[in-house]
Amino acid sequence: MKFELQHIDTKTNARAGVITTDHGTIETPIFMPVGTAGSVKAVHQRELAEDIKAQIILGNTYHLYLRPGLNILEQAGGLHRFNGWTRPILTDSGGFQVFSLSENRKLKEEGAHFRSHIDGSKHLFTPENVVDIQRIIGADIMMAFDECTPGTADYDYAKKSMELTHRWLERGLRRFSDSDPKYGYLQAFFPIVQGCVYPDLRRQSAEFIAKQNQAGNAIGGLAVGEPTEKMYEMIEVVNEILPKDRPRYLMGVGTPANILEAIERGVDMFDCVMPTRNGRNGMIFTSNGIMNMKNEKWKSDFSPLDAAGTSYVDSFYSKAYVRHLFVSQEFLAMQIASIHNLAFYLNLVKEARQHIMEGDFANWKARMVKQTMQRL
């Protein structure tokens, strides 16, 4: 994987670049739709590529490991061949999912023991076998196995957790170096910065991660319960240290405003389930604000879903019709909303990139943050 930093905004730390992988190029800043189990919910691959214009999608190690399982994925020739997506894929290591199973997992030095949420069966994730699993999945970018601490963790716990993540990283890197890709193309390995909301821990972790000299780096353990301003502060602390010539990936974040604020602070890559999860519940993100499509106010509004939208659904369907679908609990409602929201997110980061290149990002961003947070 290669990264070319093309431009840095003169008034902020916002960056524009290009990531090159064996499955194609990615223009940054970029938003990556989440395809947890090998599928972006309610959206098929043709829409992702042609209408939404996704350049890279995510898969999740935990979910793919449990179902369909490694045997099926290896027989298929990896996730790209299994789901038909020909562009780049990034896989989360499963650390966040194991963190979410707090009642059904035990963390030890060797790794994380957990029970499947599907059938209760027992499993063990280690820094080594998580690399092996991601080799079989065949992602272009794989993540190190880490412990994701809650945003409310006390200092001692956060420190011990960070140190465990660092020891696991060293083991994962050894396995990554000693193993080869399975399907004839190269894979990159991203370490993850932890340290909760404590600046000294974040600096220590960022310094440790930077020394590993990997193709890119991730910032984890944010948007997990801490105040938003703390999240922005930690991004600033970390990005002062992480190398400028490598892409920076903020994991699991967030709202349009969160993304714009993080871009301003030097983040290049994002993912979040919000566009699809909130969309399935009737929340539509637009450049003018947020619409709840179940509200009575849209009942007789026959104007386009989003006159400024870039997807075909925005001009093809009216607000009144989409509201009708949600009130009637039709599956099409969830599909339309998911397609719209993903297209909006991808166009938002595309516009951010254009304004970075043109030199007026700061003014545009300030205006867009206010607009996207309004309730319509």
Residues 6+ apart with CB under 8 A from 132: 175, 179
Amino acid (one-letter) located at 199: P
Catalytic amino acids? 92, 271
Dihedral through CA 292, CA 296, CA 300, CA 303, nearest 10? -20
Q: Which two tokens stand for residue 113?
A: 């023991």
Amino acid (one-letter) located at 208: F
Closest by alpha carbon to 30, among 348, 373, 280, 372? 348
- CA 236 to chain CA mean position, Å: 19
- Report how far residue 355's alpha carbon sits from residue 209's, in angstroms, rounded to the nearest whole number: 30
Which parts are annotated binding residues?
Answer: 92-96, 146, 194, 221
- Strand 269-271: give its sheet, edge to edge: 30-32, 269-271, 248-250, 217-219, 192-193
Q: In Å, how far are 199, 227, 238, 249, 272 from 206, measured between CA atoms?
A: 10, 21, 6, 13, 22
Dihedral through CA 131, CA 133, CA 136, CA 140, nearest 10? -50
- Report how far residue 109's alpha carbon sits from residue 137's, in angstroms, rounded to the nearest whole number: 25
Which parts are annotated binding residues for substrate?
Answer: 92-96, 146, 194, 221
Q: Which two tokens stand for residue 278?
A: 């909130």
